[in-house]
Amino acid sequence: MAKKDEDFEEEIKEGIVGKNVIKKVEKYFFRAVREFQMVKKGETIAVALSGGKDSSAGLYLMGELQKKLPFDLIAITINEGGEYREASLEKAKELCKILNVKHFIYSFRDEIGIELDEIGKKADNVCSYCGVFRRWLINRKAKELKAGKLVLAHNKDDFAQTFLMNILRNEPERIARFAPVSGYSSPKFVTRIRPLIYCEEEEVLEYAKQKKLPFLAKACPYRKGAFRLRVVKFLDALEKEYEGTKQNALDCSMFMMDAVEGELKRMKCRQEIRECKKCGEPSSEGICMKCRMLEEIKGKS
């Protein structure tokens, strides 16, 4: 999720971002890939590319990795609709052209039959719908494209925020799910990898700028009302006063992932993954979340 342009400019003027950011981001990226054995020789790796700074840097870095390890690299962009996505889609296309990466684009309109602005007119919690629909679609398409792994460019800040959100919402299962490598427990999911886990958001931004990557530095207009934004502000304020807060959250979430996973297995409350009766995609219930939410939003006037 991108910050506002003015925020980025201010951070750079203030010199918050370190000088050796290129070296640092690359070191952390390669460290994560190695440590969690994220990529296998010869497999197809799909990058979820939004056209924002994180996924653009993620695609570029995967291209760098490809120079050392042979694998097929592709990019997938989900077009949720609306002006904001049109603008970021152009950046995504531009980057794929520069890097010579095959780019696959799928829209909510064609694949799901509803667009973001329509959801926005019917519901306040647009992000909840958007997130579920996007995850459903990208997993389905990555499988069709025979991708062995799906790269999600979540950074250290995203990990800290998600960890805190999962605690505040009392969703321990999700703590286990948001891992450097996840989704491998069922063949119905394409394994997701998060190689930017050790990189801070501002470092990724500076990296993308110094590398002159095309990306959209504007935030989605629907983000304003998101619960995540409240958590971002809270963590940023804490980090200013108590340096290391985000790192502590990341360290704790890494510890908790394993602990929660173990506990869920011990309690035998790991839900079995079945196929949705409507769409055939993975679901822990008879009808998957995407199908239920889609029916609900389409039924709203």
User: What does 131 interact with, of Zn ion, ligand SF4, none (CB < 5 to 8 A by kind)?
Assistant: ligand SF4
- Of 84-92, 202-210, 221-229, 290-298: span binding Zn ion (CB under 5 A): 290-298
Helical (H) or strand (E) element with 240: helix 227-241
- On the CB side of 28, CA atoms within 13 Å amount to 22
Contact 193, 58 (CB under 8 A): no
Does residue 33 touch ligand SF4 according to CB under 6 A?
no
Spatial separation of the C-alpha atoms in residues 92 and 294, rounded to whole Å: 27
Does residue 106 touch ligand SF4 according to CB under 6 A?
no
CB 224, min distance to Zn ion, A: 29
Nearer to Zn ion, 147 or 276 (CB): 276
Residue 249 token pair = 């959250």
Does residue 25 touch Zn ion according to CB under 5 A?
no
Residue with tokens 């286990």: 176
Burial of 188 (0-12, 13-18, 19+ CB in 10 A): middle
> Given candidates 276, 282, 293, 294, which one binds Zn ion under the rule CB under 5 A?
276
Does residue 291 touch Zn ion according to CB under 5 A?
yes
Q: Which of residues 192-231 bind ligand SF4 (CB under 6 A)?
A: 220, 222-223, 226
DSSP-assigned letter for residue 270: P
Does residue 132 touch Zn ion according to CB under 5 A?
no
Contact 73, 63 (CB under 8 A): yes
Where do contacts with ligand SF4 occur on this chain (CB under 6 A)? 1, 80, 116, 126-127, 130-131, 220, 222-223, 226
Where do contacts with Zn ion occur on this chain (CB under 5 A)? 276, 278-279, 288, 291
